[in-house]
Structure 1
Amino acid sequence: MSTSIRVIEAVKSVNVQGSPAHWANEQGTRFKNPWTSWREHDWRDMYYILFKHNRLTPKAPENMSTLLPTRKPTWNHEGDDAQKLKATWIGHASFFVELPARANTEGRVPKRGARILFDPIFSTHCAPIKLAGTARITPPACALEELPEVDAVVISHNHYDHLDRPTLTKLAALPRKPHFFAPLGNLAQLMSVGVPQDNCHVLDWWQSRRVEVDIPSQDGSDKTVPAVFDLTCTPNQHGEGRTPMDRMGYPKSLWASWVAREVLPDLSSTSPKTVYFAGDTGYRAVLDEQNEDEGPVCEAFKQIGEKFGPIDLALLPIGAYAPRRFMSTVHCSPKDSALVFKDIKAKRAIAMHWGAFILTTEPIMEPPKKLKEACEEVGIEEGAFICTDIGQTMLYD
């Protein structure tokens, strides 16, 4: 017996600030960052990226596989482990998350929980052309074909290292197709890789969809058990673009983070688990010689914390942050992510967006070291915000 999926569009959206300040036109087909922490890149930034950046990026160490090991993922969990929240880092910003396998009101338990695949990229390069500078320096945790059944594929934005067309094409061709979720402006991208329109869901910030997955029961009967969760498209600070033309004028597609929250029966005594996926995001805009702690920070994260906190598990980026003048607007440093952890009221977090591609100029193995220092500085309990091996599956009560 296979699982079936339903997506309900009539879930009430969260209304935060009335009219959408991130719309750059009345139609909601162009977008902008509305944050006081945002600044547009200027001619100095363009000069840097065109003439200096490639010369300053580091080389991958020869012992990269030792520095950042890859494990074989564990997908199937039984007994008490089946009742836990599970997250596996596939590499870069790709995560495979399985929500707890909850019993229904009749006491029947599903074989597994609902499964969400965030920003999957299994390609060897993160660009339209396979140049040396865009190649992976560590492999993904497994081949795409080795993934277990996926219910929802969630995309944060359309950059090549997050919306990977070869990967999405393979996922769209699966006999049992998952449903795909992305921010506004990405419908054409999804349909162009073969996703049926009925399986495409493009959302604005603060819009939600309810996902219901009928999963076979553990008892071997012909009964199914519903696994239900809400997906909410939430703000962050970033941008979009796959071609130079996308840089002209206001962006045509939106960028986002996402919140996944279990929906449990009314009489359940268990608290629903909440997962936050940050996507690709900055936290502030830092100029040369500026004290980072003196400028404004992105308001979105405290809004998310107020609406959805406490967050049981956050998946937060810690890499691709140097040089700060260019990268701080769009990518979090480890300290930025530690502050996001606090803003969203996270209980636990796993680091991502490092160790797969050489995108920026910080030393490749610097982010985990800086994360540990940042957690100590801002008062995050040791072990609450961690780095894992690629393919390592973490289980949370």
Structure 2
Amino acid sequence: MIRPVLQDDAFLTDVDHATATQPEALHVWWLGQSGYLVAHQGTRLLLDPYLSNSLSEKYAATDKPHTRMTERVVAPECLRGISLITSSHNHTDHLDALTLRPLLATNPTAQLVVPTANLAFAAERLGSSTNLVGLGIGETATLGCVQVTAVPAAHDELLPCYVGYVLKIGSWTLYHSGDTLLYPGMPEKLAPFAPDIAFLPINGRLPERRVSGNLWGDEAARLAKVIGAKRAIPCHYELFTFNTEPPDLFIQTCDTLSQPYTVLCAGERVSFPLPPSDGG
């Protein structure tokens, strides 16, 4: 079992220390799978967090066990000061009641952004629609200090229930792809956003996994390059033994393309003092 770089109290201490001593920087922590905590200028965001064992428990006695590879970084009820949470689609590792209910109990004013097509499903899963904000593909909303735009994702099809998000916070533009394959016109849709950071899955797709597909590592690296992402960060690996890939191919392709990247371990932070366009 992989142990996070920072976990539980040590993780929370790092979050509070980084945000207090460098509030002007952009701080990113990988929570595992596709989940990130992002903090900047007093605002804390959670992108597609999965912080429970619900899938391992659900599938324990089935022919597709979700055997966990990495320990949980932090209990969701311990995360405070969260103003915005995203869910890119309805799969449990992106919309998990056992993660989101305690998060929203601790952060009752936080807004949870979901695709408009998923509003009813999300309300049923969470038992409430109070904190939900629906965003259709191509729509933009300003929520507190963050501007959020929903963009298409193909998991495996281009459907309104699958989205990625472009988030603008301060001087930073972030692209969280959600679960997606490459699709026609994808670079043209994303390049105008000129993301400073692109969070991209690298676990690929294999028929025997019996799960919907994602980018392979080389595809993620090439996508980051073609959309002009100033930094790429890989995700969606090292959580379940049946559905993972090492980041080696992603790293190799980024190096070949001269695409800047950062590979994080679960519970690890990377901090950027300035957006790349400003010399950071």
Same fold (TM over 0.5): yes
Contact 1:320 1:331 in 2 (8 A): yes
2:36 counterpart residue number? 95
Aligned ranges 1:281-300 → 2 under 5 Å: 281-283=180-182, 297-300=183-186
Structure 1 gap segments, 5+ residues each: 1-63, 102-111, 213-227, 241-249, 264-271, 284-296
Give distance in 2, aligned partners of 1:127 and 1:139.
Answer: 12
Q: Percent identity?
A: 26
For 2:67 and 2:235, locate their aligned partners in 1 and report how far apart those are by CA, in whole Å: 17
Aligned to 2:187: 301
Question: Are residue 350 (structure 1) and residue 233 (structure 2) matched?
Answer: yes
How far has the Cα of 1:175 moved from its partner? 5.5
Q: Do residues 380 (structure 1) and 258 (structure 2) align?
A: yes
Partner Cα separation in structure 1 for residue 28 and residue 56 of structure 2: 27
What whole-Å deviation, never above 9, does each CA across 1:203-234 have from its counterpart, x for those lacking one?
1111011012xxxxxxxxxxxxxxx2201111
Could you tell me whether the CA contact under 8 Å between 2:88 and 2:114 is conserved in 1? yes
Q: Deviations over 1:141-184 (max 9, x none)?
A: 11112213210110010112211122122223336331010112
Instruction: Give how far 1:326 is off.
Output: 8.0
- Indicate yes or no: 2:267 matched with 1:391: yes
Gaps of 5+ in 2: 275-280
- Higher share in strand: 2
| Equivalence map 1:300-379=2 (5 Å) | 300-306=186-192, 308-309=193-194, 311-322=195-206, 330-360=213-243, 364=244, 366-377=245-256, 379=257
Q: Give the letter aligned to residue 200 of structure 1.
A: L
**Shift in Å, 1:298:** 3.4
Correspondence for 1:238: 155
Report Cα offsets for 1:250-292 as digits up to 9, x if no partner: 97x61000011135xxxxxxxx211110111112xxxxxxxxx
1:203 aligned residue: 135
Matches within 5 A, 1:84-163: 84-99=25-40, 101=41, 112=42, 114-126=43-55, 129-131=58-60, 133-163=65-95
Structure 1 counterpart of 2:163, from 227, 232, 256:
256
SS in 1 for 2:247: helix
Task: Letter of the 2:23 partner, please give it.
Answer: A
- State the distance in 1 between where 2:107 and 2:114 align: 21
Per the alignment, do residues 79 and 137 of structure 1 end up closer, same or farther by CA in structure 2, a change over 3 Å counting? closer
Q: 2:278 is matched with which residue?
A: none
Cα-to-partner distance string for 1:17-70 (whole Å, 9 max, x where unaligned) = xxxxxxxxxxxxxxxxxxxxxxxxxxxxxxxxxxxxxxxxxxxxxxx42xx743
Partner-residue secondary structure (3-state), 1:351: strand
**Are the structure 2 counterparts of residues 116 and 325 from structure 1 closer, same or farther at C-alpha, using a change threshold of 3 Å?**
closer
Which residue in the other structure is 1:221 paired with? none
Query: Would the aligned equivalents of 1:70 and 1:139 in 2 still touch at CA under 8 Å?
Result: no
State how far apart, in whole Å, the 1-side matches of 2:20 and 2:114 are.
34
Q: Which residue of 1 aligns with 2:174?
A: 275
- CA distance in 1 between counterparts of 2:107 and 2:48 reads 21
SS at match of 1:258: strand
Q: What is the aligned partner in structure 2 of residue 38 from structure 1?
A: none
Give the total of aligned pairs: 263
Secondary structure in 1 matching 2:58? coil
Q: Secondary structure at the match of 1:182?
A: strand
Query: Equivalents in 1 of 2:127, 2:90: separation in Å?
Result: 16
SS at match of 2:246: helix
Larger RCO: 1 or 2 (CA < 8 Å, sep 6+): 1
User: How far apart are the structure 2 equivalents of 1:118 and 1:190?
Assistant: 16
CA distance in 2, matches of 1:205, 1:94: 21
- Measure, in 2, the Cα distance between the counterparts of 1:202 and 1:211: 12
Structure with a larger share of its residues in helix: 2
Match of 1:229 in 2: 146
The CA distance in 2 between the partners of 1:323 and 1:373, in whole Å, is: 25
1:319–1:333 Cα contact (<8 Å) kept: yes
- Kindly provide the amino acid, as one letter, of the partner of residue 371 in structure 1: F
Q: For 2:122 and 2:187, how far apart are their aligned partners in 1?
A: 27
Query: By how many angstroms is 1:140 displaced?
Result: 2.2
CA contact (8 A) 1:172 1:194 kept: no
Give me the CA root mean square deviation. Answer: 2.6
One-letter amino acid matched to 2:24: Q
Classify the secondary structure of the residue corresponding to 2:106.
coil
